[in-house]
């Protein structure tokens, strides 16, 4: 059986030769085959179209909020079939995305080189704190001197008023300088593309920052002068408050010194490069946040059940509002890219059917149209055979199932369509 023509279940006649006689008069043609058509004739057989069935299942548990396909609908590969509720996961993703954004911002700040603007701002804050401290120290010295020499009160009041007027004039000048610097700054857009304009813009930015620092210093000087004048006037109205004035001035000096210490520490922090450990920790937080967002994206995607192939929905077992369980079948789709016709060939003709043999198929649904096919599989065993085959007539009833693969590029052929196959004779 080198050619594979003989298959289990094929009926046959056997002739036993005796006395070593190899020519014992076997008939030239089996009785059953004598009644069949010649080998040059085609084999005709009716059959039905079948297709590969694919069960579409849920990957995650969830309440179904939409089913887009019904039985009999044609669907394309990748088309959404079932949508499950993902509101809770979406909320978790929003939180995770916010955490990722914050982590990336922290990392970017650590990796960014020290910016001149940040250093200038920190230095400006140090200068302002030094000015406030100097004013508080002057006020303390005045309070202490006044307590020691109360007769100098009127002179100190006049001096404080003069300082207040001077501070007001300096504020007016600083405001004018700031306005002029801002006009120059606005003359060149921040996103200018020219190197020359970018250089000018950087200079104007620093000028604005310097003018702002001068204005803050003048305002601090004015506040110190106002406090000193108020204190002196209060003392003149109530001389017994000299000791309280000294204590108050001492408290203001302590507060100003603390503010200066904070400003100096901030300047050191801005100028210092970030530590490798801090960068590594920030990178780890970013990676962790990204992993969480990706994990939630996968979980959300699993709640969107899409069709794995193009085909026809032949069964739907899920409805809106029901809870889908992991692995449970939601719909069944017939894959229209893998269609075949099943025909049954009598045992007397099965010897003329070969794998790869061409076939022409006509379908009742498309009169006058022929579809090309090819034999893909021949069943190894006969079907519909009685248990005990005693006669040639009974053996003639046996058939073999033959599978004919069909090309279906336009997906016109659907499961269940009846038709007829003509197996073309092989040379």
* pLDDT score recorded for residue 202: 79
Instruction: Examine residue 150 and state whether it is found in any structural domain, yes or no.
Output: yes
Residue ranges making up the domain that contains 217 = 115-272
Residue whose tokens read 């960068």: 279
Is 303:84 a contact under the CB 8 Å cutoff? yes
* pLDDT score recorded for residue 40: 64
Q: Is 345 helix (H, G, I), strand (E, B) or coil?
A: strand
Lowest-pLDDT choice from 296-305, 328-337, 387-396 = 387-396
226 plus 320 within the same structural domain:
no
* pLDDT score recorded for residue 393: 54
411 plus 367 within the same structural domain:
yes
> Hey, how many other C-beta atoms are within 10 angstroms of the C-beta on 306?
16
42 plus 136 within the same structural domain:
no
**Which of 241, 272, 303 marks a domain boundary?**
272
255 plus 319 within the same structural domain:
no
222 plus 341 within the same structural domain:
no
Domain count, the chain: 2
- Residues 196-218 have pLDDT tens digits of 777 777 788 888 888 888 888 88
Confidence of residue 219 (pLDDT cuts 50, 70, 90): confident
336 plus 417 within the same structural domain:
yes
**Which of 248, 272, 296 marks a domain boundary?**
272
221 plus 125 within the same structural domain:
yes
Instruction: Examine residue 207 and state whether it is found in any structural domain, yes or no.
Output: yes
- Residue 343 pLDDT greater than 60, yes or no: yes
* pLDDT score recorded for residue 220: 85
DSSP state of 383: B
- Residues 374-422 have pLDDT tens digits of 999 999 888 774 444 344 554 557 889 999 999 988 888 988 899 999 9
* pLDDT score recorded for residue 32: 36
Is 342:402 a contact under the CB 8 Å cutoff? yes
Instruction: Examine residue 87 and state whether it is found in any structural domain, yes or no.
Output: no
Instruction: Examine residue 359 and state whether it is found in any structural domain, yes or no.
Output: yes
Instruction: Examine residue 283 and state whether it is found in any structural domain, yes or no.
Output: no
78 plus 122 within the same structural domain:
no
358 plus 259 within the same structural domain:
no
For the chain, the average pLDDT equals 82
C-alpha torsion 134→135→138→140, nearest 10? -110
CATH number of the domain that residue 367 is part of: 2.40.30.170
**Which of 246, 272, 298 marks a domain boundary?**
272
Six token digits for residue 109: 């700040």
- Residues 18-45 have pLDDT tens digits of 555 555 555 544 433 333 444 568 899 8
* pLDDT score recorded for residue 416: 87
- CA triple 411-414-417, angle to 5 deg: 140
Instruction: Examine residue 202 and state whether it is found in any structural domain, yes or no.
Output: yes
Quickly list DSSP for 399-418.
EEEEEEEE--TT----TT-E
* pLDDT score recorded for residue 375: 95
Q: How far apart are CA 40 and CA 425, in angstroms?
A: 6
* pLDDT score recorded for residue 37: 45
What are the Cα distances from residue 412, in Å, to 331, 336, 339, 373, 419? Answer: 21, 8, 10, 14, 14
132 plus 229 within the same structural domain:
yes
182 plus 62 within the same structural domain:
no
Instruction: Examine residue 175 and state whether it is found in any structural domain, yes or no.
Output: yes
* pLDDT score recorded for residue 65: 94
Q: At what angle do helices 116-148 and 242-271 cross, to 10 degrees?
A: 160
Confidence of residue 2 (pLDDT cuts 50, 70, 90): low
Reading phi first (left if > 0) and then psi (alpha if -120 to 50, else beta), residue 411 is in: left
- Residue 360 pLDDT greater than 50, yes or no: yes
Instruction: Examine residue 2 and state whether it is found in any structural domain, yes or no.
Output: no
Give 393 or 85, the one with higher predicted confidence. Answer: 85
C-alpha torsion 240→250→147→245, nearest 10? -30
Segment holding 84, helix H or strand E: strand 80-84
78 plus 157 within the same structural domain:
no
> Hey, how many other C-beta atoms are within 10 angstroms of the C-beta on 115?
10
Long-range Cβ contacts of 67-72 (<8 Å, 24+ apart): 67/316, 67/318, 67/319, 67/320, 67/330, 69/307, 69/313, 69/316, 69/331, 70/313, 70/316, 71/313, 71/314, 71/315, 71/316, 72/312, 72/313, 72/314
- Residue 9 pLDDT greater than 90, yes or no: no
């Amino acid at each position: 059986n080198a050619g594979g023509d003989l298959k289990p279940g094929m009926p046959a006649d056997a002739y036993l030769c005796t006395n070593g006689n190899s020519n014992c008069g076997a008939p030239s043609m089996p009785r059953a085959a004598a009644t069949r058509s010649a080998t040059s004739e085609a084999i005709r057989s009716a059959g039905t179209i079948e297709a590969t069935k694919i069960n579409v299942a849920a990957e995650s548990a969830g309440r179904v909020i939409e089913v887009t396909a019904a039985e009999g609908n044609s669907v394309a590969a990748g088309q959404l079939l079932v949508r499950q509720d993902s509101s809770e996961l979406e909320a978790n993703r929003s939180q995770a995305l916010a955490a990722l954004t914050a982590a990336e911002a922290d990392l970017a700040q650590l990796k960014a080189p020290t910016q001149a603007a940040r250093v200038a701002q920190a230095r400006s804050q140090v200068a302002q704190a030094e000015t406030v401290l100097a004013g508080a120290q002057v006020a303390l010295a005045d309070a202490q001197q006044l307590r020691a020499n109360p007769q100098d009160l009127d002179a100190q009041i006049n001096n404080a008023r003069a300082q207040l007027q001077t501070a007001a004039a300096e504020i007016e000048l600083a405001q004018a300088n700031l306005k002029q610097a801002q006009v120059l700054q606005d003359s060149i857009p921040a996103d200018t593309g020219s190197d020359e304009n970018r250089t000018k813009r950087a200079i104007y930015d620093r000028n604005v920052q310097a003018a702002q620092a001068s204005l803050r210093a003048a305002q601090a000087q004015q506040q110190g002068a106002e406090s000193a004048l108020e204190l002196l006037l209060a003392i003149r109205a109530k001389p017994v408050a000299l000791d309280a004035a000294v204590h108050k001035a001492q408290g203001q000096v302590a507060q100003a010194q603390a503010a200066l210490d904070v400003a100096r520490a901030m300047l050191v922090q801005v100028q210092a490069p970030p530590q490798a450990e801090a960068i590594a920790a920030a990178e780890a937080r970013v990676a962790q946040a990204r992993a969480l967002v990706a994990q939630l994206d996968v979980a959300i995607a699993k709640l969107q059940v899409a069709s794995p192939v193009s085909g026809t929905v032949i069964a739907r077992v899920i409805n809106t509002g029901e809870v889908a369980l992991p692995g449970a079948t939601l719909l069944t789709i017939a894959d229209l890219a893998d269609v075949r016709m099943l025909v049954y060939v009598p045992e007397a003709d099965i010897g003329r059917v070969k794998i790869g043999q061409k076939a022409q198929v006509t379908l009742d649904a498309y009169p006058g149209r022929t579809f090309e096919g090819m034999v893909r599989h021949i069943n190894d065993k006969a079907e519909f055979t009685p248990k005990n085959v005693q006669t040639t007539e009974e053996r003639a009833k046996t058939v073999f199932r033959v599978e004919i693969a069909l090309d279906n590029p336009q997906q016109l052929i659907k499961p269940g369509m009846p038709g007829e196959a003509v197996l073309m004779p092989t040379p």
